[in-house]
Amino acid sequence: MRYGNIIGTGAYLPEIEITNDMLREQLAHEPGFVDKMEASTGIRKRWYAPEGWSTSDLALKAAEKALADAGRTAADLDLIILGTDSPDYITPATSVVLQDKLGARKAGTFDVGCACASFPTGLAIASGLLATNGNLKTVLVVGAYMMHKLADPKDKSIFFYGDGAGAAILEASDKPGFISSAFQADGSYAKYWGIYAGGTVEPASEESLREGRTVVHSVKGYPPEVNEEGWQKLVRNVAAAGNFKVSEIDHILFTQVRRKTIELVVEALGLPKEHSHCIMEEQGYTGSACVAMALDEARKLGKIKPGNLVVMVGSGVGYNQAAAAFRWQI
């Protein structure tokens, strides 16, 4: 048997600090909004990349750190899987841009486009491919996010968006490694949050640009049960698929958008709060990257140890939700 194993991780947080006080000035036309969101989410700041950067530049930094951590080079990579909903272009794929910047000349690539569920989805895909394809040895999975560049700076949703990227290197081993995955979605929420012009439904035009439909908008808030109940169901499904008990989970990571939701779900699952890790307070909401970034930080802090059962849960617009479970080997 071949199992996908994570042999290295890396994360990159850019250097331009954007505090809530700065956003209070920027969103002065929305009095009290920043205070409300700070209390609700726990987010106090976020970080932006330099103006000339793109999502692939963030991904490059995280990928280089993950490769170094794994003791591998770009020349070792057979496949690159990149998850984002803030791509460099509509087409070509951001993963192929990353491949060129990284110098991974022999690697194939593809993008995963299920928003903030992309990283656990990418890990599950990589593990399945490693298990069934003997010609694949080393796979890079990256989650990257630069949504603030696709937002109206005067729209209140700008509060959430922080730039960042996280990455993992996977290789095949006879030790599991990857245990199980689970997925769920509900397309009835597709019109709640998104960028609704620039694709085939409404190609970009002077009118759509003028009326602001080419930037991201939070049209309607998701009901709390989407994550509060959806995450619990997903965790129980991934446990059932992997033939383990929820109580056996040593560490669990969720999409980093609201600390109170994470704490509620962890408690409802009967897990100690210390079995999870949060980064949104100091890093903002880094979307497609946040689970990968939380994984890297938790590991570097010693919260994740060899032999631990680790579950990662991603939840993003659409909505899409995904979970992946691993027995930690490093």
pLDDT tens per residue, range 207-249: 999 999 999 998 999 999 999 999 999 999 999 999 999 999 9
Q: Is 269 helix (H, G, I), strand (E, B) or coil?
A: coil
Range scoring the smallest mean pLDDT among 162-171, 212-221, 308-317? 212-221
CB-neighbour burial class of residue 25 (10 A; exposed 0-12, middle 13-18, buried 19+): exposed
Tell whether 166 and 268 lie within a shared domain: no
Considering its fold, how many domains does the chain have in total?
2
Range scoring the smallest mean pLDDT among 13-27, 207-221, 285-299? 207-221
More confident residue, 11 or 221: 11
What integer is the mean pLDDT of 145-155?
A: 96
Q: How many Å apart are CA 293 and CA 308, to the nearest integer? A: 18
The pLDDT, as a whole number, for residue 60 is 99
CATH code assigned at 197: 3.40.47.10
Contact 99, 126 (CB under 8 A): no
Tell whether 170 and 22 lie within a shared domain: yes
pTM as predicted: 0.97
Contact 98, 59 (CB under 8 A): yes
Tell whether 166 and 306 lie within a shared domain: no
Tell whether 168 and 265 lie within a shared domain: no
Percent of the chain with pLDDT over 70: 100
The pLDDT, as a whole number, for residue 77 is 98
What integer is the mean pLDDT of 257-278?
A: 97
Tell whether 210 and 138 lie within a shared domain: no
What integer is the mean pLDDT of 132-160?
A: 97
The pLDDT, as a whole number, for residue 289 is 98
Instruction: Using the 3D structure, point to which of 159, 175, 191 is the last residue of a domain.
Output: 175
What integer is the mean pLDDT of 276-295?
A: 98
Instruction: Using the 3D structure, point to which of 175, 203, 229 is the last residue of a domain.
Output: 175
Residue closest to 117 by CA, chosen among 313, 326, 325: 313
Tell whether 267 and 240 lie within a shared domain: yes
Residue closest to 95 by CA, chosen among 69, 67, 72, 63: 63
Question: Residue 139: beta bridge partners?
Answer: 79, 170
7 pLDDT band, cuts 50/70/90, is very high
Tell whether 167 and 19 lie within a shared domain: yes
Write out the residue range of the structural domain in which residue 97 sits: 3-175
Tell whether 14 and 162 lie within a shared domain: yes
The pLDDT, as a whole number, for residue 19 is 98
The pLDDT, as a whole number, for residue 83 is 98
Tell whether 226 and 150 lie within a shared domain: no
